[in-house]
Structure 1
Amino acid sequence: MKRYKWAGIFLLTLSATGCSSVITRAGEYDKYYVYPGVRSSADQLSNHGSTSSSSSVNPLLIIDLPFSFVLDTVLLPADAIIYSINAPE
């Protein structure tokens, strides 16, 4: 029973993190093939780092970055398959 409890906690944690990874895969997924969540977060940080309206979003992106990295690493085999199917010839 204890094993199922920890597996459930792990799955809930995994599903609650990696917001950039989930959003990128749900939206413009053709733009990024490998590590789309990390690349999206990095692009948002570099593009909006100097604006005053992003001051509340930047800390969230920085917090989300390691979680997106983990989720993108877990989904790397799926990304490789998608890339091999949709690769330009």
Structure 2
Amino acid sequence: MGDTAWRSHVGLLSSTEPVDSWRELCWRFFVYEGHSHTGEPVEVVFAVYLSGRHPAVRVAMVGFDGQPVEETSLLESMPVSAGR
């Protein structure tokens, strides 16, 4: 996983073992339980692009209600659906 993305978020994780992972198109997603910068419980989601020597890594923090908790760097990802 991208060192910069991991290092900047590892302190927010409750564990370094993901609670979920899956693949959609050219992205691999890893979900970790954690907390936001303000202390509220969140899921920290890493999205790793599965192409290239140095793949892009994006990170998002999502509340247990499924809503984004903080603005993060998933803006460059493409919308995907497991049903396609």
TM-score normalized by the length of structure 2: 0.23
User: Greater relative contact order: 1 or 2 (C-alpha under 8 angstroms, separation 6 or more)?
Assistant: 1
Structure 1 or 2, whichever has the larger Rg, is: 1
Q: TM-score, normalised by structure 1?
A: 0.22
